[in-house]
Structure 1
Amino acid sequence: MMRHLEPKKARIEIIPMIDIMLFLLVFFIMITLHMIPTTGVSSNLAQSSTADELPHPKVLVSVDAAGIITVEGQTLTAAQLTERLAAQDPAHTQVTIAGAKAASLQQLMTVMDACRKAGVTRIGLAARKDS
């Protein structure tokens, strides 16, 4: 009879706490991944009425009005761009060229030639959709 009157010792259940902590960890990781901005150089793109969505490029090449080639914040020459693309897997590399509105056709062709010399066949031109 005496056993029934003794207070039970409190137990702290840690399994539900571990579940909640794991859920919070996964939640914050997912939110953080969506907060990381993609890097690039702002450019005044040409407009096109037939612009379509392209898959996310593996390499984004920016060409400004002076013909300066920029990849991931690095200024490259056409030969350096060819070397960089050839070092990757050129057969499966998607390159998008973001040429400034004032960039000449010759400057864009120079970048396209550099990509093709590296073996890249999937090349897209970035444009702003006409509204």
Structure 2
Amino acid sequence: MRYFETRKARIEIIPMIDIMLFLLVFFAMMTLRMIPTTGQVSKLPTSSTASVMPAPKLLIEIRAGGHVFVDGQATDDASLTALVRGRDAAKLAVTIAGGEDASLQQVMHVIDAVRKGGATQIGLAARQSSE
């Protein structure tokens, strides 16, 4: 008559741990995907007074030849101004990343286009110098 005995219910912990670990990894990977891109400019100018800035809401890259890229797409001054106007310009944090070969005039063109759009929080990306 052992077959008719009622057995006490058990909660299996191992499958629950597996599911929780899967959820932890899933949310960690999704959180990392939501972090804004840092851009593709690898040769940023250096500065001995560079400081950490908050993550930009809009990253503008000035690549070789003066080509301007926003989120990986080429753009010009007029469309850059329209893009900044389309967002909440008062709260928009813009970071401009130019390579070592970007001229000051190219940087000023981008700054002018961003300011025409209404943004006031503009930062320039730089690497900390090793000195």
The CA deviation at 1:6 is 4.8
Tell me how many residue pairs correspond in the alignment: 128
User: Which shows bigger deviation, 37-46 or 70-79?
Assistant: 37-46
Partner amino acid for 1:47?
A: T
SS in 2 for 1:119: coil
Q: Structure 2 unaligned runs (5+)?
A: none
CA 24–5 in structure 1, closer or farther in 2 if over 3 Å, else same: closer
> TM (normalized to structure 1)?
0.82
| Residue 56 in structure 1 maps to residue 55 in structure 2 | yes
Which residue in the other structure is 2:73 paired with?
Answer: 74
The CA deviation at 1:130 is 0.5
SS in 1 for 2:30: helix
Which residue in the other structure is 2:5 paired with?
Answer: 7
How many percent identity over aligned positions? 40
CA 89–128 in structure 1, closer or farther in 2 if over 3 Å, else same: same
SS in 1 for 2:96: strand
Highest CA radius of gyration, 1 or 2?
1
Native 8 Å contact 1:43 1:99 kept in 2: no
